Structure 1
Amino acid sequence: MRKRRMAAMTFDPSLSLEFNKEQNQQHGVHEEIEGLIKVYKDGHVERPQIVPSVTCAVAPDQALTSTDIVIDKCTNVWARFYVPKCHAKLPLLVYFHGGGFCVGSASWSCYHEFLAKLASKANCVIMSVNYRLAPENPLPAAYDDGIKALFWVKQQAFSAANDWFTSKCNLSSIFLAGDSAGANIAYNIAIRLGSPGGKLEALSPLGFKGAILIQPFFGGESRTYSEKYMVQPPRSALTLAASDTYWRLSLPVGANRDHPWCNPLAKGAPKLEDIRLVPMVVCISEMDILKDRNLEVCNALVSAGKKVEHGVSKGVGHAFQILNKSQIAITRTDELIFQIKNFISR
C-alpha cells in the first residue's frame, strides 16, 4: 500500500477512538480510528503526527545508556536499547510496543519514558523492537520481525560490534515482553519457539526464561462479559469498536477474530499441551475490556500444565502504565514494575 504523509506519532489519550462508519463512507475511508489511523479505499494510509517522537536521550539521573540500531536493513526494522550503567550482567527484555499492530513506535514518548523507568527500576536491559505495522504489513509480519530480532541478538553473541550492549546482557536470561498488541506478539513468538519443530534450538546459546504479557491483546468472535459490559470513557485507550477495527486491519484477508493469532483458545489454535512454553506472568487491568479474555487465557494455560501467574491492577484501564498520569495510575505502574522485577530476578 502507498502511504500518505506517514509519520511516527505519540498517542494523545484525549482523542476518541470511536469508529464512525457513516462518516468514513462519505469521505472514501475504508477504516478509521479517529486521531490514530485512517485507511482509504484506494489503499492510502494516514497516521496523524499528533506529538513528535522523541530521541533516545534519557535523563542523566536514570543512569542508562540508550541507543537506536537498525536490526534488519531489508525491512528497516530497528530497536531502541536501554542499558543500565552497572558492572553486573543483567536479564534482557525483548519488548514489543502496543497499538493494535497498526500504530505505535518504539520512539513514542510514552514508551520511551516507561521503558527507561522499567530498565532502571527493574535492573534489566531492554531492547524495544520497532516492528512493521499493519495494514501495510499484516500479521504475521510483526511476529516475523520479532523472530528476526532474536536472531539479531544471537548474532551479537558472536560479535564484538555491539559489545556495549552484549557485555551488559546475560544472554542465558532472556524474557519476551510487551503490552497490548506487543504482548500478543510476545505470546505468539513464545508459541512459535515452543512448538514442535520450532526455532528454539536454532537460537542457542540464547536462553529464554519467561514472557511478560501486559494487558495482552486477544479477541474472539464470541464476546466476553467485560467486552460487552465494561463501560469505557471517551478517552479510553481501547474501546470494543477500536479493537474490532485493529483486528480487521491486521489479520490475514478473510480471517475473523477466531483466527489463532487473535484467539489462542479457538478451534484450530495450537494445543497448549503440546507446546514447551516458558513461564509467564500476565498483567491484567481491572477496568480493561480485555480483562475477562486475559483471565480465560491464563486459566487455559494453567489447565494445560503451564507455569503462569497473573495479577490484576485495581482501578485502572488499558495501557494505564503509558497513557494515564493520574496518581492511581502512577501507583499501579510502580506496582507493575515491582511485579516484573520480581519475575525476572528469580
Structure 2
Amino acid sequence: MSNEELAYDFSPMLKVYKDGRVERLIGTDIAPPSTDPKTGVQSKDVVISQEPGISARLYIPKSTTTSSPQTKLPLLIYFHGGGFCIESSSSPTYHNYLNALVSEANVVAVSVDYRLAPEHPLPAAYEDSWAALKWVASHSDGNGSEDWLNSFADLQRVFFAGDSAGGNLAHNMALKVGCEGLAGVNLIGIVLVHPYFWGTESVGGEESTAPAAGREFISALWRFTYPSTSGSDDPFFNPGKDSKLGELGCVKVLVFVAEKDMLKDRGVYYSEILRKSGWKGVVELIEATGEGHVFHLEDPTCDNAVALEKKIVAFLN
C-alpha cells in the first residue's frame, strides 16, 4: 500500500491517510504569547491538565497594569473553531482576534486549547472544555493556581464565546452549567458566532442555501470527529433534539449568522427553538449581509467585522 492512499479527505481542512497519518492543511501556525505592541494586551500560556493534555492562553488588557486600585474585570472564556479538528488557542488568527477583543472590551480572557480529532475524537473537546471551566472555577475564592485570574477576573461576570465548532462548545458548556452548576462562577451570557450545528432534516432555507455536497461534508465531518455519535441529530450537534435546552445556564445569548454561510439557517433555527424552549433568558440574532463563514476572522477590519466586534463588546459590558 502506498502511503499516499487517502482514508479521508476533508480539504481544505485536513486529510487522513490509510496508514493513519493526519495532514492538517490549515490552522497549524503558532503565535507565541506576548505583550501586543498595538493594544498592550498581555498573554501567557498555562497548563490546566497534564493528562489529558489541556492548556489555555490567558489575556489581560492594558488597564490591569495602568489603573489602580484594581477593579476586577468580566471574564471571557473563548472556544476556538476549526471543526473540532484544526486550529488552536495559539493560532495567529485567534491570538490576534483575542488581543483586539480583550483590548476593546476591557475584559480578561481564557482561550481554551482542547484536544483535536481524529487523534482525540469527540467527546474529548467537550470533556476538555469542562475541565477548563472547572479549573477557572477553582479561582473563585481568589486562591487558585493562576495569579492573573485571582487578581483581575470577576467570576461573577463570566461569558462564554466561540465561533463555528467553538460556538457549539460555548452552547454545550452553557447547557452543562445550567444542568449541573459550576460553583463559584456566575455565567451571564454566551456569544455564538456562526455556530456549528446541524440536523438530518433541513430547516429554514437550507435546501437552497446549502448544496447537497456541502450538507454531506458537514455531516460527514461530524461523524469523522465523533465516531460514536448517534448522527446529525445528536443533541451535541442538533440542540433542537435536546430535551434539556430550556435549562441553558445563562440569561442572555447573542447569535451571529452570515448570509452566505451554509450554517446560517441553523443559527436562526437555534434562536427560534431557544425562545420556545422554556428558557427564561433573552436571545438576540444578528445577520451580516453578503458575508461567509467566520468572515470576521479572515478580514477583521472590514465594516461588518468591526460592527460584529462592537456588538460583542457591548454585550460583554
The residue type paired with residue 160 of structure 2 is: L
Cα pair 1:62 1:120 within 8 Å, conserved: yes
Equivalent in 219, 233, 238 of residue 198 of structure 2:
219
The residue type paired with residue 101 of structure 2 is: L
> Which residue number corresponds to residue 140 of structure 2?
157
Cα pair 1:224 1:293 within 8 Å, conserved: yes
Cα displacement (A) at 1:335: 1.0
Cα displacement (A) at 1:225: 5.2
Cα displacement (A) at 1:52: 2.9
Aligned equivalents of 1:183, 1:315: Cα separation in 2: 21
The yes-or-no answer on 1:83 pairing with 2:66 is no
Question: Residues 193 and 319 of structure 1: is their aligned pair in 2 closer, same or farther, counting only changes over 3 Å?
Answer: same
The yes-or-no answer on 1:205 pairing with 2:180 is no
Aligned equivalents of 1:187, 1:276: Cα separation in 2: 9
Cα displacement (A) at 1:69: 0.8
Aligned equivalents of 2:272, 2:149: Cα separation in 1: 37
Aligned equivalents of 2:174, 2:145: Cα separation in 1: 28
Question: Residues 120 and 26 of structure 1: is their aligned pair in 2 closer, same or farther, counting only changes over 3 Å?
Answer: same
Count of paired positions: 306
Question: Residues 209 and 113 of structure 1: is their aligned pair in 2 closer, same or farther, counting only changes over 3 Å?
Answer: same
Question: Residues 309 and 256 of structure 1: is their aligned pair in 2 closer, same or farther, counting only changes over 3 Å?
Answer: same
Equivalent in 296, 310, 314 of residue 321 of structure 1:
296
Equivalent in 273, 285, 290 of residue 263 of structure 2:
290
The yes-or-no answer on 1:309 pairing with 2:258 is no
> Which residue number corresponds to residue 156 of structure 2?
172
The yes-or-no answer on 1:66 pairing with 2:43 is yes
> Which residue number corresponds to residue 189 of structure 1?
173
Cα pair 1:58 1:116 within 8 Å, conserved: no
What is the correspondence of 1:12-31 to structure 2 with a 5 Å cutoff? 27-31=4-8
| Deviations 1:115-145, CA, capped at 9 Å, x for gaps | 1101111111111001011122222211111
- What SS does the aligned partner of 1:156 have? coil
TM-score scaled to structure 1, two decimals?
0.81
- What SS does the aligned partner of 1:257 have? coil
The yes-or-no answer on 1:41 pairing with 2:18 is yes
Cα pair 2:12 2:25 within 8 Å, conserved: yes
Q: Percent identity, aligned pairs only?
A: 37
Equivalent in 236, 249, 268 of residue 261 of structure 1:
236
> Which residue number corresponds to residue 303 of structure 2?
331
> Which residue number corresponds to residue 14 of structure 1?
none
Comparing 42-51 with 163-172, which one deviates more in the overlay? 42-51
| Deviations 1:15-39, CA, capped at 9 Å, x for gaps | xxxxxxxxxx995322112242112
Structure 2 residue ranges without an equivalent (≥5): 64-69
Cα pair 1:31 1:245 within 8 Å, conserved: no
> Which residue number corresponds to residue 118 of structure 2?
135
Aligned equivalents of 2:172, 2:87: Cα separation in 1: 19
> Which residue number corresponds to residue 18 of structure 1?
none
Cα pair 1:180 1:319 within 8 Å, conserved: yes
Comparing 239-248 with 299-308, which one deviates more in the overlay? 239-248
- What SS does the aligned partner of 1:165 have? helix
Cα pair 2:3 2:19 within 8 Å, conserved: no
> Which residue number corresponds to residue 254 of structure 2?
281
Aligned equivalents of 2:232, 2:306: Cα separation in 1: 33
| Deviations 1:29-85, CA, capped at 9 Å, x for gaps | 221122421123343322246763111124323021110111111122111111102
> Which residue number corresponds to residue 67 of structure 2?
none
- What SS does the aligned partner of 1:62 have? coil
Cα displacement (A) at 1:275: 5.1
Aligned equivalents of 1:51, 1:204: Cα separation in 2: 35
The residue type paired with residue 46 of structure 1 is: E
Cα displacement (A) at 1:229: 2.5
Cα displacement (A) at 1:182: 0.3
Structure 1 residue ranges without an equivalent (≥5): 1-24, 233-237
TM-score scaled to structure 2, two decimals?
0.88
